[in-house]
């Protein structure tokens, strides 16, 4: 695989797991242990071995500053086939929080996978033990579950069950939509992603995440799924344009207009 893109200070490149050098694996493990508790080398390497590819995020010095592991899952429900791309271990070093490099690379990966079989439904599968991971899906995919606006339709629940039973046969609970792995679960360090009370009060998606996965601090994961369409890249691009290309200039214009009367008065004196 040779997909790559440059976004801000990070370059995102997607490579096959078997192409990772020992130094790459060591750096990835170090990043995971920086932000997660209960991450052992044996568990990390075993999980990595079960993945197909990894999105690597490297800085100008070619040092890995983040990554996300990927694996394709195929299921059949009531005679209909569906494909999912599951993103597993994901982490980004704090100086680069807010970078869009990972989002763009992941969307490109999904788009290429969709084009391989346009008629076959394709879904992004992710498990969330932190609200920021959940928001990455909920804020960018029109069709995603679970969500606060509506309950999960029966057909979607059957599909999610099929995907997550395949991924976590001994840990997935269909009734709750949660995944609790045996033994001590990897979990975010307490200082990494706490949920401020004001966000729970003002953001219904964050409040929903907290309600549906109250044990996220202990490493409990919420199973999520979003549908990938050929129109997703356009939707994402328009969102970025509206956010960065229009809103910011309008804010600057608003600030400028708020000072105009004073400047005009000064000119007329």
pLDDT of residue 1: 47
pLDDT of residue 261: 38
The set of residues, in sequence order, having a beta carbon less than 8 Å from that of 59 and lying 6+ positions away, is 9, 10, 11, 65, 96
Taking each helix axis from N to C end, the angle separating 131-138 and 204-212, rounded to the nearest 10 degrees, works out to 130
* Closest by CA position to 57, among listed 123, 104, 124, 127: 104
3-class SS of residue 266: helix
Q: What are phi and psi of 157, to 5 degrees?
A: -60, -40
CA dist., res. 265 & res. 174, Å (int)? 67
Q: What are phi and psi of 147, to 5 degrees?
A: -150, 155
The β-bridge partners of 80 are 77
Provide the CB-side half-sphere exposure for 84 (13 A, CA).
25
**Token reading at 17:** 């797991």
* Closest by CA position to 72, among listed 109, 28, 24: 109
pLDDT of residue 104: 85
**92 close to 99: Cβ distance less than 8 angstroms:** yes
What is the residue-level pLDDT of the chain in tens, covering all 269 positions? 444 444 448 999 999 999 999 999 999 999 999 999 889 999 999 999 999 999 999 999 999 999 999 999 999 999 999 999 999 999 999 999 888 888 888 888 998 899 888 889 999 999 998 888 899 889 888 899 999 999 999 999 999 999 999 999 999 999 999 998 766 667 778 667 678 889 999 999 999 999 999 998 888 999 999 999 877 666 655 555 555 555 555 555 455 444 433 433 333 32
The answer to whether the Cα torsion of 180, 181, 182, 185 is positive or negative is negative
* Closest by CA position to 128, among listed 173, 187, 82, 169: 187
pLDDT of residue 262: 40
**Token reading at 207:** 């409040």
How far is the CA of 83 from the CAs of 54, 145, 163, in angstroms?
Answer: 18, 16, 9
The answer to whether the Cα torsion of 7, 94, 17, 144 is positive or negative is negative
pLDDT of residue 98: 81
pLDDT of residue 259: 44
């Amino acid at each position: 695989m040779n997909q790559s893109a440059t976004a801000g200070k990070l370059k995102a490149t997607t490579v096959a797991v078997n192409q990772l050098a020992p130094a790459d694996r060591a750096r990835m493990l170090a990043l995971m242990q920086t932000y997660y508790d209960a991450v052992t080398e044996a568990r990390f390497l075993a999980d990595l071995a079960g993945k197909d590819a990894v999105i690597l995020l490297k800085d100008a010095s070619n040092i890995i500053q983040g990554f996300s592991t990927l694996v394709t899952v195929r299921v059949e429900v009531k005679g209909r086939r569906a494909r999912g791309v599951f993103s597993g271990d994901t982490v980004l070093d704090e100086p680069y929080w807010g970078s869009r490099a990972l989002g763009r690379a992941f969307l490109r990966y999904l788009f290429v996978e969709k084009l391989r079989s346009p008629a076959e439904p394709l879904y992004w599968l992710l498990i969330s033990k932190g609200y920021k991971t959940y928001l990455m899906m909920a804020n960018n995919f029109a069709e995603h579950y679970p969500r606060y606006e509506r309950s999960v339709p029966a057909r979607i629940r059957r599909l999610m069950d099929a995907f997550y039973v395949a991924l976590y046969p001994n840990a997935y609970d269909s009734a709750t939509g949660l995944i609790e792995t045996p033994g001590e679960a990897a979990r975010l360090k307490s200082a990494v992603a706490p949920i401020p009370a004001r966000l729970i009060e003002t953001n219904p998606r964050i409040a929903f995440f907290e309600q549906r996965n109250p044990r996220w601090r202990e490493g409990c994961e919420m199973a999520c799924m979003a549908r990938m369409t050929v129109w997703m890249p356009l939707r994402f691009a328009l969102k970025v344009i509206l956010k960065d290309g229009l809103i910011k200039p309008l804010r600057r214009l608003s600030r400028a207009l708020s000072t105009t009367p004073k400047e005009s008065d000064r000119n007329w004196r």
